[in-house]
Structure 1
Amino acid sequence: MTTISRRRLLQAGAGVVPALALGARPAEAATITTGVVPSALAGFDNAMKTYIAERDIGCAQLAVARKGKILLARGYGVYGRSGTLRKVQPTSLFRVASLSKNVTGAAIARLAQDGKLNLGASVASLLGLSTTADPRLAKVTVWRLLQHTGGWDRGASPDPLWADHAISASLDVPLPIDHADIMKWTTARKLDFDPGSKHVYSNYGYMLLGRIIEKVSGMSYESYVRQKLLAPLGITRPMLGGSLASEAASIEVPYTSKYTNKTVLNDSGTVVPYPYGGFNMPNQDANGGWLASAVDMVKWGFAFDAAGPVLNSTSISRVFAKPETGVNSGGSWYGFGWYVRNNNEGGLNTWHNGSMPGTFAFLARIQNGVSYCAIFNRREEEGTPDFDSIDPILGKAASGVKTWPTTDLAPRYF
């Protein structure tokens, strides 16, 4: 990037960058920042800048909080829209992929809290699924979907959320397929293991939870979450995302991948950039379909700190309860959309990552009331450094803070 381009970028305080800089490379553009970083938290910012540069990431966000206060809110990089480059803001929207699962888990917990759902209920009974192909399906309960012990193993069988072409061909239905098609195809197949016998991560299980939320509440999945979970917390930005760039929200960043795929949105066979039509975002809803910012996700995490307007203490205990099986050798387990383990302070550390073509996200709640979320507009691909290293990197930054600031940035962003 030329000196004048960099100067023009830095002077664009309103967030819109002149077309002069449209040739900015991602690694250079990622040094352009917005938001607030207190000097005491500079270690987080420096770690993010190094991580972004090493991976040639074009758009990223970071939010850090402690004891219910948002202390750091940062946007990194630029993106093009309508002939200009725009700075990534702390409030820009990103696909957060499987960070969506703890939202879905909380929605189920809330329905149980309100007396509308029995977590021990049979999923087949709730959704009217036939057990003819495999009678064991009757033993799949809501609890087991939440904790990934339902009987589906994407290492043994195709992940139904990423098998659009196979489902379309098998059912002889045109693309795009929908939730009903996915359920029909999967229900006609045998389970991969006895429900409750082991833990295996299942996107399909969380897709089914979305359908249960709709069936029990009488509302769309998105409407239920926005009205019953997010609105009471003053969180208004998150929404379900679209598949195509033309469907992007006005403040949504673009997504980058070197991979392509045949479109799953029609039967044309057109090869498309993987993040834009290579998978069907509406079908991902309860499993991985949300758009949000890092500050949104950190504030959302506060709902699990103590009883409040969304979840009572019983529901929070359920969210983090140990499953009937699946505690690993390191002592961690899977709750309702969260990985969980005991920490050294007598509490729980909870975390999750999210990954799909063009997206990587990480959210953690750790000891001493500290939480953080980082989101990126690409994920690990062949030839790029490990993206999961963001976990120890941010953990190290947190442990290096000498004195935590106390100014809450929430009024600036909500």
Structure 2
Amino acid sequence: MTMLTRRRLLQAGAGLVPAVALGARPAEAETAAIPTTGVVPSALAGFDSAMKTFITERNISCAQLAVAKGGKILLARGYGAYTKAGASVLVQPTSLFRIASLSKSLTGAALARLAQDGKVSLGAKVSTLLGLSTTADPRLANVTVWRLLQHTGGWNRDVTPDPLWNDTNIAAALDLSLPVGHADIIKYVSARKLDFDPGAKYVYSNYGYMLAGRVIEKISGMSYESYIRQQLLSPVGISRMRLGRSLRSQAFSTEVPYESKYTRKSVVDDSGAVVPFPFGGFNMPNQDANGGWVASAVDMVKWGFVFDAPGVVLNKTSISRVFAKPETGVNSGGSWYGLGWHVRNNNVGTLNTWHNGSMPGTFSFLARVQNGVSYCAIFNRREEEGSPDFDVIDPILGKAISTVKTWPTTDLTSRYF
């Protein structure tokens, strides 16, 4: 995530900055031609209009939006269509998308729950929990679970390439065939020095969250996916979400295709084949705890309700831990990183929390803002060279809140769960 991205994310629906101008708006005929499914109450038409414009400007073929207030899902929309087995399929509000780093909120909550249940301390040393050698860098002994989850563990992907996207070099260094797995990645990274002292500063780290997934497995005695689904999702009736797969042929029956103009040599085998970047250019199973889930926008909005309802999955203490300020404190923009969420104080004395997700073929954004409003948008492509900015979905949807004169009261949740 770039500094510019973080600066924009700081606004996250708080209405502090206007949407970024993107030139002439698409003609009404263009946006009206987008196939749609689901329910959009007339009072929330501003959200729908904003999404259609965003989609048209970026030539996005598949997208979703869900909007909620006060624990009720009020808007659930699928946009676009794709071809499967020779037939055109409309995107539904329940279609599955890769959500990329929105996955981190699940991983953070899982460790908060394990701490709540007395099974681990968030202050525990990760090297001890996972049996990692500290020979290459004794500072690794100072990496705690807190520091993994708050991105202060000591890894900087701008200095040392992100190991979750460095499969070929890791395989070569360890004299292995592709694909590499979690254990291989950990062996490779643990043999190298950290990029900075743990706890000294915030630097976003996918590797830290991958390690957090292994802590969940070690402490719970379950697979990462099973623990999340059984202990976090099942209690709130979310059953569609699961870990994604690498190849197009492995896609789930209701999962959309992903688009990118880029190709890459496959990292899921040693064939040397050049593949579309979203389908074998990276290893989805390795992304699990940092970016591996597939979900729908309604799933993610409902997941966000967990943090407004102490006792359902997390108690009040655990929720406060999820959003607690790290030892590095508040950044210059007034926000901080909790356990899988960006966090800031808002205008009404509560917290705005949000996250984006980005990988080849995916862009996603989830926010919980003031007055109980939350929303999630997901797309089957991300910003690439020559395309308009995708991060502006944040202020665009934040601005759409101001178009609502009276919030509807009909809860759509039972329609989709």
Among 371, 394, 398, the alignment partner of 2:397 is 394
| 2: CA distance, partners of 1:263 / 1:87 | 30
The answer to whether the aligner puts 1:253 opposite 2:256 as a matched pair is yes
State the Cα distance separating 1:80 from its structure 2 match. 0.8
For 1:160-239, what aligned pairs fall within 5 Å after superposition? Answer: 160-239=163-242
- Distance in 2, Cα, partners of 1:30 & 1:95: 25
- Name the counterpart of 2:106: 103
1 CA distance for matches of 2:32 and 2:351? 37
CA separation in 2, counterparts of 1:281 and 1:30? 33
Tell me the distance in 1 between the aligned counterparts of 2:115 and 2:83: 44
Aligned residue in 2 for 1:152: 155
Aligned to 1:331: 334
Q: Does 1:373 align with 2:376?
A: yes
Structure 1 residue 400: Cα displacement: 1.8
- The match for 1:406 is 409
CA distance in 2, matches of 1:189, 1:28: 51
- Specify every segment of 5 or more residues in structure 2 that has no aligned partner in the other structure, as ranges: 1-29
* Counterpart residue number, 2:83: 80
Measured in 2, the distance between the counterparts of 1:284 and 1:116 equals: 24
- Select the structure with the greater relative contact order (CA < 8 A; seq sep ≥ 6): 2
2:292: which partner in 1?
289
Report the alpha carbon displacement of residue 28 of structure 1 after superposing the two structures with TM: 7.8
Contact 2:367–2:374, Cα closer than 8 Å, also in 1: yes
Matched, 1:382 2:385: yes
Q: Distance in 2 between matches of 1:162 and 1:365?
A: 30
Moved over 6 A (4+): 27-30
Q: How many residues align?
A: 388
Q: 1:57 aligns with which of 44, 56, 60?
A: 60
Aligned to 2:349: 346
Residue in 1 that maps onto 2:137: 134
1:189 match: secondary structure: coil
Letter in 1 for 2:222: M
Amino acid at match of 2:215: I
Among 108, 116, 121, the residue aligned to 2:119 = 116
Shift of 1:30: 7.1
Q: Give the CA deviation at 1:308.
A: 2.7
Query: Counterpart of 2:211 in structure 1: which amino acid?
Result: L
Contact 1:264 1:279 in 2 (8 A): yes
Q: Kindly, what percent of the aligned residue pairs are identical?
A: 77
CA distance in 1, matches of 2:89, 2:265: 30
Q: 1:70 to 1:28 in 2, by over 3 A?
A: closer
Give distance in 2, aligned partners of 1:247 and 1:327: 42
CA distance in 1, matches of 2:189, 2:346: 38
**8 Å Cα contact 2:31-2:53 kept in structure 1:** no
TM-superposed deviation, 1:29: 10
- Give the aligned partner of residue 32 of structure 1: 35
Tell me how far apart the structure 2 counterparts of residues 326 and 294 of structure 1 sit (CA, whole Å): 31
TM norm structure 2: 0.92
Equivalent residue for 1:71? Answer: 74
d(CA) in 2 for partners of 1:29 and 1:337?
Answer: 36
Give the 3-state SS of the residue equivalent to 1:54 in structure 2: helix
Q: CA–CA distance in 2 between the matches of 1:29 and 1:301?
A: 30
| Alpha-carbon contact 1:30-1:76 (below 8 Å) kept | no
> 2:24: which partner in 1?
none
Deviation per CA, 1:198-234, whole angstroms, max 9, x where unpaired? 0000000000000000000000000000000000000
Amino acid of the structure 2 residue aligned with 1:282: P
Paired letter, 2:268: L
* Uncovered stretches (5+) of structure 1, i.e. residues with no partner: 1-26
Between the aligned partners of 1:400 and 1:186, the Cα distance in structure 2 is 49
Partner residue of 1:361?
Answer: 364
